[in-house]
Amino acid sequence: MSKVEVPAKPGSASLAEFEIVVAVAPESGADQVVRDLQRARAKVRRLWPMPDKLPSDADVLVVEFSDRLTDRLPWMPGESRSAVVVVIGPNRAPDPARLCETTPEAVIYMPAQTETIAGVVALARSQFDYTKRLRDRIERLDENLRTIRNVERAKAILISARGMNDEAAYKFLRTQAMDRRTTVNAIAAAIIDSFELLG
């Protein structure tokens, strides 16, 4: 089978169809960045001068580094919605602390070698996706732990307040959830809340 030029590989090394915002100064090499990304068939949106707030709907933000870049990012640290690639212009050396608090997935020092930019941007997006999958997984695990805890607490309430046994308490929660077309967790949480409200 013939190898294709830009394979749509797992982890998506391909930038095809990716929406990428480029907010880079012309003197830092914005033209080269845009050209490289367009060659990789990304959809590039160019923003300059640097806006006060960067857009939050792109797949990747490729942005010129500045000391107050965190203020221009449209999210709080730890809640990013796009991969961020920071571009550092010729003869500049950012303060490491400022660079870290921007939390970029990758850094490009200009001038960059020809055709190296698309690879860095694809890597940044792959890192971002992986972190997001892990965060989703952790969120799901937290939710499961909360459910288990709530069901056990609600059951204890039913056992002491209604004199039910363990089995009957479980059955009550399940039946209520089914009748009300909601989750067992929601029923359990409601029982705990009303019990605490009534004291």
Residue 4 in the binding site for another protein (CB under 8 A): yes
List own/partner pairs for 103-111 with CB under 8 A and 24 or more apart: 103/77, 103/78, 107/65, 108/33, 108/62, 110/28, 110/29, 110/32, 111/29, 111/32
What residues contact 154, with CB distance under 8 A and at least 6 apart?
169, 173, 187, 188, 189, 191, 192
Across 176-195, b (16+ Cβ under 10 Å) vs e yields: bbeeeeeebbebbbebbeeb
Closest distance of CB 163 from another protein, Å: 18
Considering only the stretches 32-40, 67-75, 114-122, 169-177, report the one whose residues sit in contact with another protein under the rule CB under 8 A.
Answer: 169-177
Closest distance of CB 5 from another protein, Å: 6
Among 10, 49, 163, 199, binds another protein (CB under 8 A): 10
Indicate the length of the chain as a whole number. Answer: 199
Closest distance of CB 145 from another protein, Å: 8
Closest distance of CB 140 from another protein, Å: 5
- Dist CA 86 CA 157 (whole Å): 54
C-beta of 41 vs 92, nearer to another protein: 41
Closest distance of CB 39 from another protein, Å: 14
Among 130, 180, 193, 194, binds another protein (CB under 8 A): 130
Among 116, 160, 182, 183, binds another protein (CB under 8 A): 183
Q: What burial class does residue 62 get, using C-beta atoms within 10 Å of its C-beta: 0-12 exposed, 13-18 middle, 19+ buried?
A: buried
Considering only the stretches 27-35, 84-92, 114-122, 162-170, report the one whose residues sit in contact with another protein under the rule CB under 8 A.
Answer: 162-170
Residues 88 to 127: which contact another protein by CB under 8 A? 126
- Dist CA 3 CA 9 (whole Å): 12
Give the residues lining the site for another protein (CB under 8 A).
1-2, 4-12, 126, 129-130, 133-134, 136-137, 140-141, 144, 147-148, 151, 166-167, 170-171, 173-174, 177, 183-185
